[in-house]
């Protein structure tokens, strides 16, 4: 019997405006003056409102390393030359779970047919014991997919994806895009900075709801919760899981339930706030609990109300003397405050957490799962870890939740 997973892999869905770096979209630089390793990075992200989240589209390389390890459809590893990763022969051999797909199709019906055929083919591919009929169906759907994939490009290495996106900036700009992929931790100096590894990029309909959504399994105990009722923010100082070196690891991670926009005098709004808080009200203090949650990436500047704190000394004096009013100095458009960067809890994922948080491991066993800080790791350690882990595995209440806890 297969062992039950300790957690589900973090994943994200970003829908919004594509953004590229202002100057050099693709950069390559040595990690340091003495290193043989270089980092090539594509400055590519998604913007929603005042928030912009860049993707983790980069790779570390050395002139001494000439090959890369890929994985076939059965999960078996094989090596290919780095300068040969775009070879169609390798693309056909590699499993879909480790490909990056870019779909620039704009015809809705063509996209619908493409994904329908892809789904049908995968229903046969995932079978452990494939029959002759399964193999025939896989071949049949593969041939049919060619008719609907003229604007679909796939990659088995991030370097080829970077090259393609960079050369097609003008095609992508001006369109709403949808990017999905995996969430990976970068735990350094006591802080976990989430990285967003794309597995799919496609054009999205213009009427699509914009979002910077992250799905995570958060682990916590009673001591993880800090509810600042004056600030109206509840801090969950918990952990998220990641599979590293074939072992389940937990990484300290903070998410924030911000209910500062809620009017707690309003019964419905107060009930919504208490409903979300209730999922973190656990009785057994000796056990870590796991709760699947839906979060939002906040990475930008908050819109703030214009007041006298934004005025110069001279402007304040002019108002005091009756020469001007506050409204005279109010700028056109929004006023932005300090830059902020955190993961905001929207709500528990009720499609998964049907019965709320579940007990996971004993608190006293937590140290067996904690991940070490990356601050003392060498680049060789990082590269070795990456190679080992290349194999992947009326207003409605909904509207009110978005208004209170969303952007």
CA dist., res. 286 & res. 172, Å (int): 51
pLDDT at 306: 75
Asked whether residue 264 is domain-assigned, the answer is yes
Asked whether residue 4 is domain-assigned, the answer is no
| Co-location of 266 and 168 in the same domain | yes
CA dist., res. 334 & res. 306, Å (int): 9
Number of domains, the chain? 2
| Co-location of 125 and 115 in the same domain | yes
CB pairs under 8 A, 24+ apart, for 120-128? Answer: 121/145, 122/96, 125/73, 125/96
- The CB density around residue 385, as the number of other CB atoms within 10 Å, is 14
| Co-location of 15 and 120 in the same domain | no
Q: E strands of 246-377, at which residues?
A: 247-258, 287-304, 335-348, 358-362
| Co-location of 207 and 83 in the same domain | yes
Asked whether residue 287 is domain-assigned, the answer is yes
Of the candidates 199, 236, 197, 244, the one whose C-alpha atom is nearest the C-alpha of residue 218 is 236
Give the angle 349-355-360 at the CA atoms, nearest 5°: 90
Asked whether residue 260 is domain-assigned, the answer is yes
| Co-location of 203 and 232 in the same domain | yes
Last-in-domain residue among 134, 150, 166: 150
Asked whether residue 6 is domain-assigned, the answer is no
| Contact predicate 273/401, CB 8 Å | no
| Co-location of 251 and 117 in the same domain | no
Last-in-domain residue among 150, 184, 215: 150
Domain residues for the domain of 116 are: 107-150
* Element (DSSP H or E) covering residue 216: strand 211-220
| Co-location of 378 and 397 in the same domain | yes
| Co-location of 179 and 283 in the same domain | yes
| Co-location of 130 and 241 in the same domain | no
| Per-residue model confidence as pLDDT tens for the chain (407 residues) | 345 788 899 999 999 999 998 777 899 999 988 889 999 999 999 999 989 999 999 999 999 999 999 998 888 899 999 999 999 999 888 988 889 999 999 999 999 999 999 999 989 988 888 899 999 999 999 999 999 999 999 999 999 999 999 999 999 999 999 999 999 999 988 889 999 999 999 999 999 999 999 999 999 999 999 999 999 999 999 999 999 888 999 999 999 999 998 999 999 999 999 999 999 998 888 999 999 999 999 998 766 677 888 888 999 998 888 888 888 888 876 656 667 889 999 999 989 888 889 989 999 999 899 987 665 555 555 555 555 444 444 445 555 555 555 54
| Contact predicate 381/375, CB 8 Å | no
| Co-location of 252 and 264 in the same domain | yes
Residue 151 tokens read as 């604007």
CA dist., res. 224 & res. 377, Å (int): 28
pLDDT at 390: 46
Last-in-domain residue among 116, 150, 184: 150
Between strands 100-103 and 195-203, the pairing is parallel
Asked whether residue 5 is domain-assigned, the answer is no
CA dihedral of residues 288, 294, 298, 303 (deg, nearest 10): -120
Produce one character per residue of 365-377: b if its CB has 16 or more CB atoms within 10 Å, e if not.
eeeebebeebeee
Asked whether residue 3 is domain-assigned, the answer is no
CA dist., res. 109 & res. 75, Å (int): 33
| Co-location of 233 and 270 in the same domain | yes
The neighbouring-strand residues paired with 364 are none
Q: How far is CA 236 from the centre of its chain?
A: 19
| Co-location of 193 and 132 in the same domain | no
Asked whether residue 2 is domain-assigned, the answer is no
Task: State the DSSP code for 373.
Answer: P
């Amino acid at each position: 019997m297969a062992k039950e997973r300790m957690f589900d892999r973090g994943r994200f869905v970003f829908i919004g405006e594509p953004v590229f770096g202002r100057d050099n979209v693709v950069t390559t630089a040595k990690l340091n003056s003495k290193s043989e390793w270089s980092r090539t990075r594509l400055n590519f992200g998604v913007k929603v409102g005042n928030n912009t989240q860049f993707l983790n589209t980069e790779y570390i390389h050395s002139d001494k390393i000439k090959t890369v390890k890929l994985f076939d459809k059965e999960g078996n590893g094989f090596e290919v030359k780095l300068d040969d990763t775009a070879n169609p022969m390798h693309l056909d051999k590699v499993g879909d779970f480790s490909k990056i797909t870019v779909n620039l199709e704009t015809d809705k019906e063509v996209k619908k047919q493409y994904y329908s055929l892809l789904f049908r083919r995968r229903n046969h591919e995932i079978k452990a014991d494939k029959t002759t009929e399964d193999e025939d169906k896989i071949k049949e759907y593969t041939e049919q997919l060619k008719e609907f994939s003229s604007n679909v490009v796939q990659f088995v290495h991030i370097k080829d994806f970077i090259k393609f996106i960079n050369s097609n900036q003008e095609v992508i700009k001006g369109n709403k895009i949808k990017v999905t992929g995996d969430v990976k931790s970068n735990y350094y100096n006591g802080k976990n900075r989430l990285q967003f590894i794309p597995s799919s990029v496609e054009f999205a309909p213009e009427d699509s709801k914009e979002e910077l959504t992250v799905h995570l399994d958060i682990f916590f105990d009673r001591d993880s919760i800090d509810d600042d009722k004056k600030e109206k923010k509840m801090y969950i100082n918990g952990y998220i899981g990641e599979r590293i070196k074939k072992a389940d690891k937990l990484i300290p991670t903070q998410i924030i339930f911000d209910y500062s926009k809620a009017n707690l005098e309003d019964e419905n709004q107060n009930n919504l706030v208490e409903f979300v808080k209730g999922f973190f009200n656990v009785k057994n203090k000796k056990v870590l609990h796991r709760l699947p949650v839906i979060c939002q990436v906040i990475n930008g500047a908050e819109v703030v109300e214009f007041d006298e704190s934004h005025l110069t000394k001279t402007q304040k004096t002019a108002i005091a003397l009756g020469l001007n009013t506050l409204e005279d100095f109010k700028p056109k458009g929004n006023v932005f405050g300090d830059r902020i960067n955190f993961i905001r809890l929207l709500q528990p994922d009720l499609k998964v957490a049907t019965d709320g948080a579940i007990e996971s491991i004993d608190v006293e066993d937590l140290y067996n799962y904690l991940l070490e800080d990356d601050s003392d790791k060498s680049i060789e350690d990082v590269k070795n870890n990456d190679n080992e882990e290349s194999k992947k595995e009326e207003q409605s209440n909904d509207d009110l939740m978005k208004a209170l806890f969303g952007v």
